[in-house]
Amino acid sequence: MKLNDLKIIVTGAASGMGRYFTQQLAAEGASVAAWDLSEEGLAAVAEENKGAAGTVKTFVANVADEKQVVAAIKASGDGLGGLNGLINNAGIFRDGLLVKVDKKSGDVKKMSLEQWQSVIDVDLTGPFLATRELAAYMIENKIKPGVIVNMSSVSRSGNMGQSNYSAAKAGLVADTKLWGHELARYGIRVGAIAPGFVRTPILDAMRPEVLEKMVQGVPLRRVGEPHEIYLGVKFIIECDYFTSRCLDIDGGTVL
């Protein structure tokens, strides 16, 4: 699929990698529906992409809310004159150990159900809802081909303190394989990317000594750049023989 034929949704588009993906896709001629909860962030995205070769239209949507996803799919399709792509990028962290003994009191602290459920809702249920609705939209409107990119994580193999996040990202890779098989008959490909540690505002906010310790676990001894992850996104979009697989772009990191 050529980028200038693409009419694609990017979730979590107001910051981090989602914002970068939106900018790069628009610069290369794609039409992008940028979804996020932040109206202010979306306004900035719209402003910075004025004059791009492609088009960027913004939509406030909570990917964990079924009614909002259904409405945003329709609005995005109407706004772009159709849809044939999706990047499930929106995600949150609510890190914590499953159980932890307080050194002073001896009390056992537990990961709360809210910590667990909030991450599952955004990071796994969100992609499920967006993928389901996009696929239905394309089938009903007889649109093909199409492509979906799921943003997983190196944490999909299990990372201490991330029971919720690891479960969501592992589930997303499993669904990538499943959805790729189920949707192939409709001309829709599905791929995933599992980034390692990537330079984003979240990473930039870490204490230098913590970041340095983390980087020591990366064979290439550095964090990734958003453009390196975008190259994976672009490959999945453009390679029409790629589906049901996950690209690990993590500098060789093993957790």
Dist CA 185 CA 29 (whole Å): 27
In a domain, 255, yes or no: no
**Does the structure show a pLDDT above 90 at 205?**
no
- pLDDT, one tens digit per residue, over 52-90 is 999 999 999 999 999 999 999 999 999 999 999 999 999
Is residue 165 annotated as part of the catalytic site, yes or no? yes
In a domain, 235, yes or no: yes
Domain extent for 226:
3-247
Q: How far apart are the first and last CA of the chain?
A: 34
Strands 146-151 and 188-195: parallel
Residues 94-99 have a mean pLDDT of 93
In a domain, 19, yes or no: yes
In a domain, 252, yes or no: no
Confidence of residue 100 (pLDDT cuts 50, 70, 90): very high
- 8 A C-beta contact, residue 190 and residue 176: yes
Predicted TM-score (pTM) of the model is 0.93
Residues 87-111 have a mean pLDDT of 94
Q: How many structural domains is the chain composed of? A: 1
In a domain, 254, yes or no: no
- pLDDT, one tens digit per residue, over 209-243 is 777 887 888 889 888 899 999 999 999 999 999 99
CB < 8 Å & 24+ apart, contacts of 180-185: 180/243, 180/244, 180/245, 181/244, 183/135, 183/146, 183/148, 184/243
pLDDT of residue 213: 81
**Does the structure show a pLDDT above 80 at 29?**
yes
CATH number, domain containing residue 113: 3.40.50.720
Candidates 165, 186, 230, 241; catalytic one? 165
Residue with tokens 């996104």: 233
Helix, coil or strand: residue 236:
helix
pLDDT of residue 151: 97
In a domain, 211, yes or no: yes
Q: Is the peptide bond before 145 cis (omega within 30 degrees of 0)?
A: yes
Q: Give strand ranges (E) for the chain.
A: 7-11, 31-36, 55-60, 85-88, 99-101, 108-110, 146-151, 188-195, 245-249
- 8 A C-beta contact, residue 50 and residue 21: no
Largest CA-CA distance found in the chain, in angstroms, rounded: 63
pLDDT of residue 131: 98
| Exposure class string for 56-77: b at 16+ Cβ within 10 A, else e | bbbbbbbbbbeebbbebbebbb
In a domain, 181, yes or no: yes
- C-alpha neighbours within 13 Å on the C-beta side of residue 106: 0
In a domain, 87, yes or no: yes
- DSSP at 15: S
Of 89-98, 195-204, 237-246, where does mean pLDDT reach its minimum? 195-204
pLDDT of residue 41: 97
